[in-house]
Amino acid sequence: PPSPPTMAADLMEIDDSLYRYVYLFLSHTFLISFLCSRQRYVLGDSAMHQMAQSSVFLSGMGGLGVEIAKNIVLAGVKAVTLHDTKQCETWDLGCNFFIHKEDVFNQRRRVEVVCPRVAELNPYVHVDTSLCPLDDNTDLSFLRKYQCVILTEARLISLHLCDAFGICVRVFCDFGEEFEVSDPTGEEPKEIFIQNISQDNPGVVTCMDNQPHGLQTGQSVIFREVGGMEELNGSVRQATVLSPHSFSIGDTAHLHSYAHGGYFVLVKTPKTFRFETLEQQLYDPQLLIPDFSKPEVSLKNIHVAMLALETFQEQHSRLPNIGYFCIFVSLCFLASTFYLIIGPLQSLSPEEFLPRGDRYDALRACIGESMCIELQKLRVFMVGCGAIGCEMLKNFALLGVGLARSSGEVCITDPDLIEKSNLNRQFLFRPHHLQKPKSTTAAEATRNINPDMQVDAHLNKVCPATESIYNDSFYSGLNLVVTALDNVEARRYVDSRCVSNQRALLDSGTMGTKGHTEIIVPNLTESYNSHRDPPEEEIPFCTLKSFPSVIEHTIQWARDKFENAFVHKPSMYNAFWQTHSSAEVVLLRMQAGESLESSFQVIKLMSRQPSQWEQCIAIARLKFEKYFKRKALQLLHSFPLDTRLKDGSLFWQSPKRPPTPIEFDLQDPLTSIKLSRILSEVKIPEYRPLEKCIETDETAKKPDQVKLPLSSEEEREAILHLEQAISTDRVTPECLRMSPLQFEKDDDSNGHIDFITAASALRAKTYNIEPADRLKTKRIAGKIIPAIATATAAVAGLVALELIKVVGGYGFESFKNCFFNLAIPVFVLTEPAAVKKTPIRNNIYFSIWDCWTIFGHEDFTLSEFMNAVREKYGLEPTMVVHGVKMLYVPVMPGHSKRLKVT
């Protein structure tokens, strides 16, 4: 390590240049830490399986150690040994959320206190403790039985090591000389359809205009279903990218010529990484640079400063006195990523940082007493109390945000109840909390971490309907708003409320290993609504209905069928019989020639209502015939395989797949003996092709359920069915009521996902698409966003840092938005976009944050209002509008009369 004098010189340099950095050694296997039902979608089955076999040794039970323990136990490793030798101190209360005041008072050991509380997070993980000293004399051979060793608060010995000093952190990973990463990107490869492949050396693959291939040179792809150049089917070729829509694949000159169809998929090739030893990295660290606007050298300076601190610790067996330590911390502030402007800190006396024997000592050493008090006085509104919410509340508790005695408060709201699938990510919740409200439960758990916190928990949704509760006076009592939401619509709404009430907003979100944070500050930055994310890609209606080409299409089709059959139709049925008192009255009115809305569909449903199991099976059999045979026959009737488009090209060419009707097979092992008997008795009407129009325009929307007038034949049919139903006494109140379902993906016993999986697989078979298993179907149909606890903890931590900056009143330059992907790993900080100011005329501007107020009185006329604007702003109003209504436009005849109106 560099000697202390060098370090001093380096620190001077930091001071001069005001560069601000944190350095992080991150690596792929930083990922080691997660699991939850949604985590399976992030890591895949084999990684989940490997993790469930792994034992981890984790040393150091400070704030960092307990955070890691939480994440890996939620992740579901096989066993964790928590190692620590220290006693609980008051200082720990500010960082370790599992240590309580009584533990300090009772002088308990940290590891003994923390162990049962960590173990409670996941009953499947074996958690035990170790108290043995770890030093140069320790025989480390016992570590062999662990797959992963994580050291925090340790002197620099080995392996996987991370530390936090104030706001500076270090992570170092050593996975040895050869570490194979099976999935170097973590992205699920998409099927890309082929437009053409040239017969050449090298041959060039072009893909459809609307779908760039997204490949990088050197990556490999596998080909499938290629017509003509069939030798390519199943073969893997390395791609050299030529353009976003084309790449070459080596010699194709001797292959058959390309005819039509086919697609390719990226093949994941494992990549081997070499990890240098700690000694090598200490001398010449490879740094992950999060902020490209700052030079790398300042990160190295922090590295040097941390090494110097360790040298001091080694020589004196303690950290420097707080005064010196705080200078160190201040210097690191200077150097930190977070760009905390040193102004306020410089003007503070060292006493600001001295310990006072309370739980905030550690925090105080970083940010000073005045700032701690500011945090305690805060009034914060947090919208949502799920995964991000739980992590945020923990951070609030540790930072002392919203303490009752300072008349601060954290108000949280979430209408949701705690579900089983929440438990492995939302770490404030335990099995005995199931079906309790998230917000009140989280509030209680937060007070458990910090009893002085004032948490007001609501069960409301934040939306226009609750504007009487979350009204302007509510917002004006707040310092800032934090979102912990999982959807764009709610974010947009909260953002609009923050803009009109001029309140700062801290937003964040995660998707799998990716996360982002965004800081929105009145008068300084743009707002969330200033940028629009690309809209979610919608599957064209005709693709869903007739031309599926990938499994997503068949899954969505099955999901729509579910909604229509089990939700929409029964609801319509109930609504009809609520409007119409009895079947007899309906019959009379229909006989009199009245056409009642949805009567035809309702009577059809009624007459087909099965009363026995056999009838249910018969209906299912007919549905099979309809969807998987007749629809296919009909399509092929309308568009025979040799159909050509106007330009002479084939109608059935990629991405369109011609369907193959499926013959129902009684011999299929799925049809049990009992069912066979019933099934063989079902009468299948003969198929007659219809001359009907099939939508092929991809831009066409799903037609509205237009109320077509009933044909007289349909009317007669409906009346007949109704008469029969009445005469056979099938119009009892029970018969006139159905129970609509509500789609619920998480209850495996309700059959919902099973229905969708089966329906989608059959349709996939019809169209020769590779079917998806139940898990994949569930993810796509349930629109499940993959999630892991570590990414959530990371965004919540980043938001907490921005919160400190907003509260400290630091300037625009200090704020950072962040995007990261822990899987690659990428970690990028950017400045938020500055607010756009539109000039009106010299020195008068307006932005989204402006709200100009004119105070009137009871008899205030439009004319007086306009005068007031002229006077106050020196502007000539050219028109007056209210919402979309024009109140006064000078050229409009009659508007001049309105000037006198109040």
Active-site residue set: 542
3-state secondary structure of 885: strand
CB neighbour list of residue 536: distance below 8 Å, 6 or more residues apart: none
Residue 201 Cβ, how far from ligand NAG at the closest point, in Å? Answer: 14
Q: 469 or 684: whose CB is closer to ligand NAG? A: 469
Answer whether 716's CB lies under 8 Å from 664's CB.
no
Q: 471 or 643: whose CB is closer to ligand NAG? A: 471
Q: 189 or 227: whose CB is closer to ligand NAG? A: 227
Extract the tokens encoding 62: 């400070």
Residue 446 Cβ, how far from ligand NAG at the closest point, in Å? Answer: 22
Place of tokens 């919208």: 383
Q: Is the dihedral of CA 58, 61, 63, 67 positive or negative?
A: positive
Q: 228 or 320: whose CB is closer to ligand NAG? A: 228
Residue 482 Cβ, how far from ligand NAG at the closest point, in Å? Answer: 17
Residue 885 CA to residue 902 CA, distance in Å, equals 16
Extract the tokens encoding 753: 């996902």
Residue 198 Cβ, how far from ligand NAG at the closest point, in Å? Answer: 6
Sheet holding 148-152, edge to edge: 126-130, 79-83, 55-59, 148-152, 160-165, 168-172
Q: Is the dihedral of CA 861, 866, 868, 869 positive or negative?
A: positive
From the list 574, 601, 608, the residue with the least C-alpha distance to 740 is 574
Q: 225 or 352: whose CB is closer to ligand NAG? A: 225
Q: 103 or 225: whose CB is closer to ligand NAG? A: 225
Residue 226 Cβ, how far from ligand NAG at the closest point, in Å? Answer: 5
Extract the tokens encoding 200: 């050449």
DSSP state of 337: T
Q: 638 or 847: whose CB is closer to ligand NAG? A: 847
Extract the tokens encoding 135: 């030093």
User: How many other CB atoms are found less than 10 A from the CB of residue 863?
Assistant: 14
Binding-site ranges for ligand NAG (CB under 6 A): 196, 198, 225-227, 230, 233-234, 260-261, 469, 471, 473-474, 502, 522-523, 849
Residue 897 Cβ, how far from ligand NAG at the closest point, in Å? Answer: 33
Residue 80 CA to residue 118 CA, distance in Å, equals 10
Q: Which H, E and C letters describe 152-171, residue by residue? A: ECCCCCCCEEEEEECCEEEE
Q: Is the dihedral of CA 106, 110, 112, 117 positive or negative?
A: positive
Q: What phi and psi values does residue 789 have, to the nearest 5 degrees?
A: -60, -35
Residue 280 Cβ, how far from ligand NAG at the closest point, in Å? Answer: 50
Q: 78 or 260: whose CB is closer to ligand NAG? A: 260
Extract the tokens encoding 675: 């069912």
Residue 855 CA to residue 447 CA, distance in Å, equals 44
DSSP state of 91: G
Residue 262 Cβ, how far from ligand NAG at the closest point, in Å? Answer: 7
C-alpha distances out from residue 893 to 539, 879, 886, Å: 49, 13, 12
Residue 465 CA to residue 413 CA, distance in Å, equals 14
Pairing of strands 126-130, 79-83: parallel
Q: 233 or 578: whose CB is closer to ligand NAG? A: 233
